Amino acid sequence: MDYLGLIINIFVSVAKTGNDRHAFTSSSRAEIRTLCGNWRESRQIDRSKASSLGKLSEARYRTMQFYSRRKKLIGNSQTEQLYGHCLQFYGQPPIENISLSEFETFAVDRLKLLKTVENLGVSYVKTSELYTKKLDAEFSNLNFPYKIEASTKDDWKPQTGPSEYEKRRKDHISHFILRLAYCQTEDLRRWFIQQEIDLFRYRFNDLPSKNIGQFLQYNNLHYHTISIDEKKKLMDKLVTSSFAVSGSTVDGKDFYKVPFQDALDLVRTRKVYLNGGYVYIPHQDIVTIVLNDFRTRLSKALALTARSLPAVQSDERLQPLLNHLSHAYVGQDYSIQKSIGKISLEQIDPLSAKSYPLCMRQLHRGLRDSHHLRHGGRMQYGLFLKGIGLTLDQALQFWRSEFVKGKVDADKFDKAYAYSIRHMFGKEGKRTDYTPYSCMKVILSNPPSQGDQHGCPFRHSDPELLKQKLQSYKVSPSGISQILELVKGMHYQLACQKYFELTHSIEDSGFSLNHPNQYFMESQKLLGGPGAGVKVEVKREDNPATKPPNPSPHQTPGPGNLPQEVAAEITEDLDSFFQDA
């Protein structure tokens, strides 16, 4: 079946009261707003509009008609069959209607799961107990299916929370949503495939032996086990072809017969017995085969998805969300600091050496050395300074004093640069209060060119130069090689985390680095400095005109008038981009 991209027929969840023009309840409105930041009410599409498909183009209308017709053919039995196994190969896209809010929740939750997979994967050995424990906890928290024993128990009798069926459905749908978000560039695809593979491997290895056979059959993977007789006949050959295989292994474990084209790495290195075009793989190695298959399929699917993406992106409800998912910073955004005013300008130099992440240290150094920074650098560093607690006046003073030492006189500074600094603090123009850039944003957007100082040094610096820089900052040689290893594996944030650990002389940073200001805050916490006392604030819309009547427009945190689960969501704003220039 051709994967024509996921066309989800989205409609607004119907308010229980029915004919409301704004079909959202106030709580779900707030939920969506906080999840998606700057959505104004006018963007909410009411039910009547959606059903008449007024906003959709002719072509999409027809495509959706096609899918809804197909959907009629698929009865309930199909969906049951679809989720008959707790582990999925994601061969078929989901074809059903879901609400916007479910769409977003699913996507955000899976993203959190994948990020956890990434972080745990480099912090712990993948087979270790800690890894298992932490990852299982995350599965449970986010309501994704994992343990097969658990699933057979609460399959038809959910004890608490969503049923196994619902978990699997979430797994299925969220995967496809993220495909939409992560298919567009090579970097995004690579990241997504890597995490999905690690996730799949973890869950596959967890499957008991008989379920593996079931899984293979279910997904039409033609890897058959060989009979005991055949094993006996081939005993010698099997033992001499694989290093890890002994006579007892052959007796005890299953061997799979796989076409050699599906096991090229094993063939190339002659690590397996090959006969008649088939390789004979011991059970422990079948994972590699299945993973390769998974990788190939996912890679092809993403390429196909990227081609069909324009159709999906033309839907204005989806486009901003998908864009922001792929740059999502799922964590605090450090927009408003409680420690505002607690840092003095004299402290900046020592702070830059002690508590700045490498990118900001580089920017600060660049500013001090050349008394100037280009726009990208000013934005990245300027917003960071705001995040650590500088007031507007302090910022103006800071930048002016530096620029004036260079080629810019005070007048020119006031005319040209001061405006943009005030802009950063939300005092000019549309007065949006910009949020400091997260690591994701720094790494993925606006790569530096010649003469630029911004960006992420772990991502954008040549490894040789990075090494020299780290040496000049007195990082130990073994530490440097650890960092370079992480950089080679493209784990830039983890490399920065390692830099944190080395410069603070600790074993484990205790946090997952996602944001330069987080780095600063954690560092200050450790050192007992002034920048540490920060509570995360909710990002609120500054424009009172669009504020809903319920929550009061002040800036302290607290659930206030919002339902419990939404409050939890509030502390995890989806996106810091909405506020960008």
Partner 1 sequence: MTTADYDQASLPDLLPLYYRRLFPFSQYHRWLNYGGVTKNYFQNREFSFTLKDDIYVRYQSFSTQNELEKEMQKMNPYKIDIGAVYSHRPNQHNTVKSGSFQALEKELVFDIDMTDYDDVRSCCSGADICPKCWTLMTIAIRILDRALRDDFGFRHCLWVYSGRRGVHCWVCDEAARKLSVAARSAVAEYLSLVKGGDETVRKVVLSDPIHPFITESLTVVENYFSQYALLGQDILGSKEAVDKVLALLPEDILFLCKLLQYFQTEKNPEKRWDTIRSMAQDKRMTAKKGHYFEMEIMLQYCYPRLDVNVSKGVNHLLKSPFSVHPKTGRISVPIDLRELDRFDPFEVPTISLICEELDQPKTEEEQDDNMENENKKEAGERRKMRDYKRTSLAKYVKLFDNFLEEMAHSRKGEVLKNSDLQKDF
Extract long-range pairs of 548-554: CB within 8 Å, 24+ residues apart.
548/26, 548/29, 548/30, 548/33, 548/41, 550/26, 550/30, 551/30
| Nearer to partner 1 (CB atom), residue 130 or residue 264 | 264
**CA atoms of 258 and 68, how far apart (whole Å):** 38
Which of 278, 294, 403, 492 is close enough to bind partner 1 by CB under 8 A?
278
CB 89 within 8 A of CB 297: yes
| Nearer to partner 1 (CB atom), residue 259 or residue 553 | 259
Which of 268, 310, 508, 545 is close enough to bind partner 1 by CB under 8 A?
268
For 531, the token pair is: 């920048």
> Half-sphere exposure of 234 toward its Cβ, with a 13 Å CA cutoff?
23
* Shortest spacing between CB 254 and partner 1, in angstroms: 20
* Shortest spacing between CB 313 and partner 1, in angstroms: 24
Extract long-range pairs of 475-478: CB within 8 Å, 24+ residues apart.
475/499, 475/502, 475/503, 476/502
Which of 237, 283, 365, 372 is close enough to bind partner 1 by CB under 8 A?
237
In order of 215, 296, 496, the CA distances from 91 in angstroms are 13, 12, 37
239 counts as binding partner 1 under rule CB under 8 A: yes
18 counts as binding partner 1 under rule CB under 8 A: no
Of the candidate spans 94-102, 127-135, 200-208, 270-278, the one that interacts with partner 1 by CB under 8 A turns out to be 270-278
**CA atoms of 510 and 368, how far apart (whole Å):** 32
565 counts as binding partner 1 under rule CB under 8 A: no
Tokens 């009261």, residue? Answer: 17
The burial class, CB within 10 Å (0-12 / 13-18 / 19+), for 568 is exposed
Which of 209, 240, 468, 481 is close enough to bind partner 1 by CB under 8 A?
240
Which of 4, 64, 148, 267 is close enough to bind partner 1 by CB under 8 A?
267
277 counts as binding partner 1 under rule CB under 8 A: yes
Q: Which of 341, 362, 361 is nearest to 520 (CA)?
A: 361
* Shortest spacing between CB 237 and partner 1, in angstroms: 5
* Shortest spacing between CB 231 and partner 1, in angstroms: 15
260 counts as binding partner 1 under rule CB under 8 A: yes
Number of residues that bind partner 1 (CB under 8 A): 20
**CA atoms of 282 and 240, how far apart (whole Å):** 13
* Shortest spacing between CB 303 and partner 1, in angstroms: 14
295 counts as binding partner 1 under rule CB under 8 A: no
Q: Which of 442, 430, 352, 440 is nearest to 388 (CA)?
A: 352
**CA atoms of 178 and 189, how far apart (whole Å):** 10
Of the candidate spans 258-266, 401-409, 421-429, 449-457, the one that interacts with partner 1 by CB under 8 A turns out to be 258-266
Count of CB atoms situated within 10 Å of the CB of 516: 29
**CA atoms of 269 and 250, how far apart (whole Å):** 21
291 counts as binding partner 1 under rule CB under 8 A: no
Which of 18, 75, 208, 276 is close enough to bind partner 1 by CB under 8 A?
276
| Nearer to partner 1 (CB atom), residue 147 or residue 271 | 271
445 counts as binding partner 1 under rule CB under 8 A: no
* Shortest spacing between CB 533 and partner 1, in angstroms: 56
299 counts as binding partner 1 under rule CB under 8 A: no
For 193, the token pair is: 């495939």
Q: Which of 415, 425, 336 is nearest to 378 (CA)?
A: 425
For 333, the token pair is: 């955004």
| Nearer to partner 1 (CB atom), residue 80 or residue 251 | 251
316 counts as binding partner 1 under rule CB under 8 A: no
| Nearer to partner 1 (CB atom), residue 207 or residue 250 | 250
| Nearer to partner 1 (CB atom), residue 234 or residue 526 | 234
Of the candidate spans 26-34, 274-282, 361-369, 524-532, the one that interacts with partner 1 by CB under 8 A turns out to be 274-282
* Shortest spacing between CB 279 and partner 1, in angstroms: 10
C-alpha R_g of the chain? 27
Of the candidate spans 76-84, 133-141, 186-194, 240-248, the one that interacts with partner 1 by CB under 8 A turns out to be 240-248
Tokens 């103006």, residue? Answer: 396
Which of 127, 261, 505, 564 is close enough to bind partner 1 by CB under 8 A?
261
What residue type is 482 in one-letter code?
Answer: Q
CB 384 within 8 A of CB 402: no
275 counts as binding partner 1 under rule CB under 8 A: yes
Which string of DSSP letters, residue by residue, matches 397-430?
Answer: HHHHHHHHTTT--HHHIIIIIHHHHHHHTT-STT
188 alpha carbon, distance to own chain's centre: 10
222 counts as binding partner 1 under rule CB under 8 A: no
264 counts as binding partner 1 under rule CB under 8 A: yes
Of the candidate spans 98-106, 155-163, 263-271, 342-350, the one that interacts with partner 1 by CB under 8 A turns out to be 263-271
Residues contributing to the site for partner 1 (CB under 8 A): 237, 239-243, 260-261, 264-265, 267-270, 273-278
